[in-house]
Structure 1
Amino acid sequence: MFLLPTVALAMMKGGPLAPDISGTVYFKDVPGGCCVSARITGLPRYRPAANDKEPIGPHGFHLHECGNCEVGNPEEPFLAAGEHWNPSKQPHGNHAGDFPVLFSNNGFAHMSFFTNKFSVADVIGKAVIIHANPDDYRTQPCGNAGKRLACGAITAC
Protein backbone atom coordinates (compact mmCIF):
# COMPACT_ATOMS: atom_id res chain seq x y z
CA MET A 1 0.00 0.00 0.00
CA PHE A 2 1.32 3.42 -0.95
CA LEU A 3 1.00 6.16 1.69
CA LEU A 4 0.48 9.74 0.59
CA PRO A 5 2.77 12.36 2.15
CA THR A 6 1.20 14.27 5.04
CA VAL A 7 3.92 16.92 5.45
CA ALA A 8 5.67 19.03 2.83
CA LEU A 9 8.17 21.89 2.81
CA ALA A 10 9.13 24.83 0.60
CA MET A 11 12.57 26.30 1.27
CA MET A 12 12.19 29.97 0.32
CA LYS A 13 15.03 31.78 -1.43
CA GLY A 14 15.09 35.39 -2.52
CA GLY A 15 15.84 36.28 -6.10
CA PRO A 16 17.69 39.23 -7.62
CA LEU A 17 15.06 41.77 -6.46
CA ALA A 18 15.24 40.68 -2.79
CA PRO A 19 18.25 38.40 -2.25
CA ASP A 20 18.06 38.53 1.57
CA ILE A 21 14.75 36.65 1.76
CA SER A 22 14.93 33.13 3.14
CA GLY A 23 12.72 30.87 5.18
CA THR A 24 10.43 27.89 5.25
CA VAL A 25 6.79 27.18 4.46
CA TYR A 26 5.43 23.93 5.93
CA PHE A 27 2.27 22.15 4.82
CA LYS A 28 0.69 19.62 7.18
CA ASP A 29 -2.46 17.60 6.68
CA VAL A 30 -4.94 18.08 9.52
CA PRO A 31 -8.54 16.92 9.84
CA GLY A 32 -10.60 18.67 7.17
CA GLY A 33 -7.72 20.27 5.28
CA CYS A 34 -4.18 21.56 5.56
CA CYS A 35 -2.30 23.82 7.97
CA VAL A 36 0.26 26.12 6.32
CA SER A 37 3.00 27.70 8.45
CA ALA A 38 5.50 30.24 7.14
CA ARG A 39 8.61 31.61 8.81
CA ILE A 40 10.35 34.16 6.58
CA THR A 41 13.32 36.49 7.17
CA GLY A 42 14.93 39.21 5.07
CA LEU A 43 11.72 40.77 3.78
CA PRO A 44 12.09 44.32 2.43
CA ARG A 45 10.99 47.18 4.65
CA TYR A 46 7.42 48.38 4.16
CA ARG A 47 7.00 51.39 1.89
CA PRO A 48 3.52 52.86 1.30
CA ALA A 49 2.42 53.74 -2.21
CA ALA A 50 3.41 57.33 -3.05
CA ASN A 51 4.11 59.49 -6.10
CA ASP A 52 2.84 56.87 -8.57
CA LYS A 53 5.09 54.18 -7.02
CA GLU A 54 3.65 50.84 -5.94
CA PRO A 55 3.86 49.97 -2.25
CA ILE A 56 6.36 47.45 -0.95
CA GLY A 57 4.56 45.14 1.45
CA PRO A 58 2.51 43.72 2.89
CA HIS A 59 3.62 40.94 0.58
CA GLY A 60 1.42 38.89 -1.72
CA PHE A 61 1.87 35.21 -0.86
CA HIS A 62 0.68 32.55 -3.30
CA LEU A 63 0.82 28.96 -4.42
CA HIS A 64 1.90 28.74 -8.07
CA GLU A 65 1.39 25.96 -10.63
CA CYS A 66 4.96 24.74 -11.18
CA GLY A 67 7.73 23.90 -8.72
CA ASN A 68 10.31 25.61 -10.93
CA CYS A 69 12.19 28.39 -9.14
CA GLU A 70 14.60 29.25 -11.95
CA VAL A 71 15.27 33.00 -11.84
CA GLY A 72 15.15 33.49 -15.62
CA ASN A 73 14.94 37.23 -16.37
CA PRO A 74 16.40 39.08 -13.34
CA GLU A 75 13.95 41.96 -13.92
CA GLU A 76 10.96 39.55 -13.81
CA PRO A 77 12.21 36.56 -11.80
CA PHE A 78 10.54 33.20 -11.19
CA LEU A 79 8.14 33.29 -14.15
CA ALA A 80 8.87 29.55 -14.63
CA ALA A 81 6.71 28.93 -11.53
CA GLY A 82 3.68 29.68 -13.71
CA GLU A 83 0.48 31.36 -12.59
CA HIS A 84 -1.46 30.98 -9.36
CA TRP A 85 -2.58 27.43 -8.82
CA ASN A 86 -6.33 27.39 -9.43
CA PRO A 87 -7.54 23.80 -9.94
CA SER A 88 -11.24 24.60 -9.47
CA LYS A 89 -11.18 27.66 -11.79
CA GLN A 90 -12.41 30.06 -9.10
CA PRO A 91 -12.18 33.85 -9.47
CA HIS A 92 -9.16 35.44 -7.85
CA GLY A 93 -9.60 35.89 -4.13
CA ASN A 94 -11.19 32.47 -3.78
CA HIS A 95 -8.83 30.02 -5.47
CA ALA A 96 -6.58 27.45 -3.86
CA GLY A 97 -3.42 29.45 -4.57
CA ASP A 98 -4.60 32.53 -2.66
CA PHE A 99 -2.88 32.86 0.71
CA PRO A 100 -3.15 35.71 3.24
CA VAL A 101 -0.60 38.51 2.79
CA LEU A 102 2.69 38.42 4.71
CA PHE A 103 3.32 41.37 7.02
CA SER A 104 6.99 42.22 7.52
CA ASN A 105 7.99 43.06 11.08
CA ASN A 106 11.51 44.45 10.70
CA GLY A 107 12.05 41.94 7.88
CA PHE A 108 10.50 38.96 9.70
CA ALA A 109 7.14 37.26 9.19
CA HIS A 110 5.67 34.25 10.96
CA MET A 111 2.18 33.12 10.03
CA SER A 112 0.00 30.01 10.14
CA PHE A 113 -3.38 29.44 8.57
CA PHE A 114 -5.82 26.63 7.76
CA THR A 115 -7.32 25.89 4.35
CA ASN A 116 -9.73 23.22 3.19
CA LYS A 117 -8.88 23.82 -0.49
CA PHE A 118 -6.07 21.26 -0.75
CA SER A 119 -4.12 18.50 0.97
CA VAL A 120 -0.36 18.07 1.18
CA ALA A 121 -0.40 15.53 -1.68
CA ASP A 122 -2.07 18.14 -3.93
CA VAL A 123 0.72 20.72 -3.53
CA ILE A 124 3.84 18.56 -3.97
CA GLY A 125 5.63 19.88 -7.05
CA LYS A 126 4.07 23.35 -6.88
CA ALA A 127 5.87 26.55 -5.74
CA VAL A 128 5.31 29.22 -3.11
CA ILE A 129 5.96 32.79 -4.31
CA ILE A 130 6.38 35.97 -2.23
CA HIS A 131 5.48 39.13 -4.17
CA ALA A 132 6.52 42.77 -3.64
CA ASN A 133 3.01 44.18 -3.28
CA PRO A 134 -0.10 43.24 -1.35
CA ASP A 135 -2.66 41.16 -3.16
CA ASP A 136 -5.84 43.11 -3.95
CA TYR A 137 -7.89 39.84 -4.05
CA ARG A 138 -9.90 41.27 -6.96
CA THR A 139 -7.78 41.73 -10.09
CA GLN A 140 -8.06 38.68 -12.36
CA PRO A 141 -6.34 36.35 -12.61
CA CYS A 142 -3.59 37.04 -10.07
CA GLY A 143 -4.37 39.95 -7.75
CA ASN A 144 -1.95 42.62 -9.02
CA ALA A 145 0.62 41.60 -6.38
CA GLY A 146 3.63 42.82 -8.34
CA LYS A 147 7.05 41.39 -8.92
CA ARG A 148 8.11 38.00 -7.59
CA LEU A 149 10.68 38.41 -4.82
CA ALA A 150 11.22 34.85 -3.57
CA CYS A 151 10.36 31.29 -4.55
CA GLY A 152 10.35 27.85 -2.95
CA ALA A 153 9.52 24.53 -4.62
CA ILE A 154 7.32 22.27 -2.49
CA THR A 155 8.69 18.81 -1.70
CA ALA A 156 7.48 15.97 0.52
CA CYS A 157 9.17 15.61 3.91
Structure 2
Amino acid sequence: MGLLAALPILLAAPAAALAHDHGHGGGGAMADLIDGQGQTKGKATIRQGKDGIEVDVKAVGLPAGVHAVHVHTTGTCTGPDFTSAGGHWNPGKKQHGHDNPAGAHMGDMPNMTVGADGTGELRTVIKGGMLTGGAAPLLDADGAAVVVHAAADDYKTDPTGNAGGRLACGVIKAE
Protein backbone atom coordinates (compact mmCIF):
# COMPACT_ATOMS: atom_id res chain seq x y z
CA MET A 1 0.00 0.00 0.00
CA GLY A 2 1.39 3.36 -0.97
CA LEU A 3 1.77 6.27 1.41
CA LEU A 4 -1.09 8.21 -0.20
CA ALA A 5 -3.39 5.20 0.02
CA ALA A 6 -2.56 4.73 3.73
CA LEU A 7 -2.99 8.43 4.60
CA PRO A 8 -6.77 8.27 5.32
CA ILE A 9 -6.21 5.33 7.69
CA LEU A 10 -3.37 7.10 9.50
CA LEU A 11 -5.44 10.26 9.92
CA ALA A 12 -8.54 8.40 11.14
CA ALA A 13 -6.81 6.31 13.82
CA PRO A 14 -6.13 9.14 16.34
CA ALA A 15 -9.65 10.52 15.86
CA ALA A 16 -11.17 7.11 16.56
CA ALA A 17 -9.09 6.73 19.71
CA LEU A 18 -10.14 10.15 20.99
CA ALA A 19 -13.80 9.51 20.21
CA HIS A 20 -13.77 6.29 22.26
CA ASP A 21 -11.87 7.71 25.24
CA HIS A 22 -14.01 10.85 25.74
CA GLY A 23 -11.07 12.41 27.57
CA HIS A 24 -11.82 10.52 30.79
CA GLY A 25 -8.88 8.17 30.81
CA GLY A 26 -10.82 4.91 30.56
CA GLY A 27 -13.71 2.95 29.20
CA GLY A 28 -17.32 3.40 30.08
CA ALA A 29 -20.49 1.60 30.97
CA MET A 30 -24.21 2.20 30.84
CA ALA A 31 -27.43 1.03 32.46
CA ASP A 32 -30.96 1.14 31.02
CA LEU A 33 -33.33 1.88 33.90
CA ILE A 34 -36.61 -0.05 33.99
CA ASP A 35 -39.51 -0.16 36.42
CA GLY A 36 -41.07 -3.30 37.93
CA GLN A 37 -43.22 -3.79 34.82
CA GLY A 38 -40.23 -3.55 32.46
CA GLN A 39 -41.05 -0.03 31.22
CA THR A 40 -38.10 2.25 30.38
CA LYS A 41 -37.46 4.86 33.06
CA GLY A 42 -34.17 6.33 31.91
CA LYS A 43 -30.50 5.66 31.47
CA ALA A 44 -27.28 5.94 33.46
CA THR A 45 -24.02 6.67 31.68
CA ILE A 46 -20.90 5.76 33.64
CA ARG A 47 -17.27 6.62 32.83
CA GLN A 48 -13.96 6.28 34.57
CA GLY A 49 -12.66 9.75 35.39
CA LYS A 50 -9.40 10.86 36.96
CA ASP A 51 -11.02 11.39 40.39
CA GLY A 52 -13.36 8.40 40.33
CA ILE A 53 -16.42 7.07 38.55
CA GLU A 54 -18.45 9.76 36.77
CA VAL A 55 -22.19 8.99 36.78
CA ASP A 56 -24.91 10.74 34.77
CA VAL A 57 -28.46 9.51 35.42
CA LYS A 58 -31.31 10.75 33.22
CA ALA A 59 -34.74 9.60 34.39
CA VAL A 60 -38.16 9.78 32.71
CA GLY A 61 -41.65 8.80 33.80
CA LEU A 62 -40.97 8.85 37.54
CA PRO A 63 -43.16 10.37 40.28
CA ALA A 64 -42.31 13.99 41.07
CA GLY A 65 -40.21 14.47 44.19
CA VAL A 66 -36.80 13.69 45.61
CA HIS A 67 -35.45 10.18 45.06
CA ALA A 68 -32.39 8.39 46.37
CA VAL A 69 -30.06 6.93 43.74
CA HIS A 70 -27.55 4.24 44.70
CA VAL A 71 -25.17 1.81 43.08
CA HIS A 72 -26.06 -1.71 44.26
CA THR A 73 -23.74 -4.71 44.51
CA THR A 74 -25.26 -7.14 42.03
CA GLY A 75 -25.91 -6.75 38.31
CA THR A 76 -29.41 -8.22 38.37
CA CYS A 77 -32.70 -6.30 38.13
CA THR A 78 -35.52 -8.77 38.68
CA GLY A 79 -38.83 -6.96 39.18
CA PRO A 80 -41.06 -5.98 40.60
CA ASP A 81 -39.03 -5.10 43.73
CA PHE A 82 -35.43 -5.37 42.42
CA THR A 83 -34.12 -6.90 45.66
CA SER A 84 -32.00 -9.07 43.34
CA ALA A 85 -29.67 -6.05 43.00
CA GLY A 86 -28.49 -6.60 46.59
CA GLY A 87 -27.40 -3.87 48.98
CA HIS A 88 -25.41 -0.73 48.34
CA TRP A 89 -21.95 -1.08 46.78
CA ASN A 90 -19.70 -0.86 49.85
CA PRO A 91 -16.18 -2.19 49.25
CA GLY A 92 -14.84 -0.13 52.19
CA LYS A 93 -17.28 -1.77 54.65
CA LYS A 94 -18.48 1.64 55.90
CA GLN A 95 -21.84 2.66 57.30
CA HIS A 96 -24.43 4.38 55.12
CA GLY A 97 -24.70 8.07 54.43
CA HIS A 98 -22.75 11.18 53.58
CA ASP A 99 -23.78 12.69 56.94
CA ASN A 100 -22.76 9.59 58.92
CA PRO A 101 -19.28 9.95 60.49
CA ALA A 102 -18.73 6.22 59.85
CA GLY A 103 -19.95 6.46 56.22
CA ALA A 104 -20.46 6.52 53.38
CA HIS A 105 -20.93 3.48 51.17
CA MET A 106 -19.13 3.86 47.84
CA GLY A 107 -22.54 3.44 46.17
CA ASP A 108 -24.20 6.30 48.10
CA MET A 109 -24.92 9.11 45.65
CA PRO A 110 -26.77 12.42 46.04
CA ASN A 111 -30.54 12.53 45.78
CA MET A 112 -32.15 13.28 42.42
CA THR A 113 -35.05 15.73 42.09
CA VAL A 114 -37.74 14.70 39.62
CA GLY A 115 -39.96 17.48 38.29
CA ALA A 116 -43.71 17.52 37.69
CA ASP A 117 -43.00 16.32 34.12
CA GLY A 118 -41.48 13.09 35.49
CA THR A 119 -37.92 13.87 34.44
CA GLY A 120 -34.81 14.23 36.54
CA GLU A 121 -31.05 14.26 36.14
CA LEU A 122 -28.20 13.51 38.50
CA ARG A 123 -24.52 14.07 37.74
CA THR A 124 -21.97 13.04 40.33
CA VAL A 125 -18.54 11.51 40.85
CA ILE A 126 -18.00 8.47 43.05
CA LYS A 127 -14.67 9.64 44.48
CA GLY A 128 -11.95 6.99 44.33
CA GLY A 129 -14.18 4.45 42.59
CA MET A 130 -12.83 2.25 39.82
CA LEU A 131 -14.91 0.68 37.05
CA THR A 132 -12.33 -2.03 36.47
CA GLY A 133 -9.02 -2.93 38.08
CA GLY A 134 -7.93 -2.00 41.56
CA ALA A 135 -8.84 -3.75 44.80
CA ALA A 136 -12.65 -3.43 44.51
CA PRO A 137 -13.83 -2.62 40.97
CA LEU A 138 -17.47 -1.80 40.32
CA LEU A 139 -17.60 -4.18 37.35
CA ASP A 140 -16.61 -7.31 39.27
CA ALA A 141 -17.73 -10.91 38.60
CA ASP A 142 -21.37 -10.38 39.66
CA GLY A 143 -21.68 -6.88 38.21
CA ALA A 144 -23.57 -3.95 39.70
CA ALA A 145 -26.79 -1.99 39.21
CA VAL A 146 -28.08 1.58 39.50
CA VAL A 147 -31.27 1.80 41.58
CA VAL A 148 -33.67 4.75 41.92
CA HIS A 149 -35.64 4.62 45.18
CA ALA A 150 -39.16 5.80 46.06
CA ALA A 151 -38.03 8.35 48.67
CA ALA A 152 -35.13 10.65 49.42
CA ASP A 153 -32.00 9.37 51.15
CA ASP A 154 -31.66 10.92 54.62
CA TYR A 155 -27.85 10.56 54.28
CA LYS A 156 -27.41 8.94 57.70
CA THR A 157 -29.64 5.94 58.50
CA ASP A 158 -27.69 2.69 58.13
CA PRO A 159 -27.90 0.68 55.91
CA THR A 160 -30.41 2.24 53.45
CA GLY A 161 -30.91 5.91 54.27
CA ASN A 162 -34.67 5.32 54.70
CA ALA A 163 -34.91 5.60 50.92
CA GLY A 164 -37.97 3.38 50.57
CA GLY A 165 -38.75 0.86 47.86
CA ARG A 166 -36.96 0.48 44.56
CA LEU A 167 -38.75 2.26 41.68
CA ALA A 168 -36.28 1.61 38.87
CA CYS A 169 -33.20 -0.51 38.29
CA GLY A 170 -30.57 -0.82 35.58
CA VAL A 171 -27.82 -3.42 35.19
CA ILE A 172 -24.48 -1.70 34.57
CA LYS A 173 -22.89 -3.05 31.39
CA ALA A 174 -19.47 -2.21 30.00
CA GLU A 175 -19.62 -0.43 26.64
Three-state SS of the structure 2 residue aligned to 1:138 is coil
Three-state SS of the structure 2 residue aligned to 1:135 is coil
Cα offset, 1:15, TM superposition:
1.3
Corresponding position of 2:109: 99
2:73 maps to which of 65, 79, 88: 65
Corresponding position of 1:132: 150
Moved over 4 A (4+): none
Cα offset, 1:45, TM superposition:
2.4
Is the 8 Å Cα contact of residues 21 and 43 (structure 1) preserved in structure 2? no
- Partners of 1:140 and 1:111 lie apart in 2 by 22
Cα offset, 1:117, TM superposition:
3.2
Alignment of 1:7-86 (within 5 A): 7-16=28-37, 22-46=41-65, 58-71=66-79, 74=80, 77-86=81-90
Q: Which has the larger radius of gyration?
A: 2
Amino acid at match of 1:150: A
Three-state SS of the structure 2 residue aligned to 1:8 is strand
- Structure 2 unaligned residues grouped into runs of 5+: 1-25, 98-103
- Relative to the length of structure 2, the TM-score reads 0.73
Over the aligned positions, Cα root-mean-square deviation in angstroms equals 1.5
Amino acid at match of 1:108: T
Corresponding position of 1:6: 27
- Partners of 1:118 and 1:96 lie apart in 2 by 7
Identity of aligned pairs, percent? 38
Three-state SS of the structure 1 residue aligned to 2:63 is coil
Corresponding position of 1:117: 128
- Partners of 1:8 and 1:92 lie apart in 2 by 25
- Partners of 2:162 and 2:149 lie apart in 1 by 10
Deviations 1:91-117 (Å, cap 9, x if unpaired)? Answer: 111110101111002211122112223
Query: Which structure has greater helix proportion?
Result: 2
- Structure 1 unaligned residues grouped into runs of 5+: 47-57
- Partners of 1:61 and 1:95 lie apart in 2 by 12
Deviations 1:101-135 (Å, cap 9, x if unpaired)? Answer: 11002211122112223122222210111100000
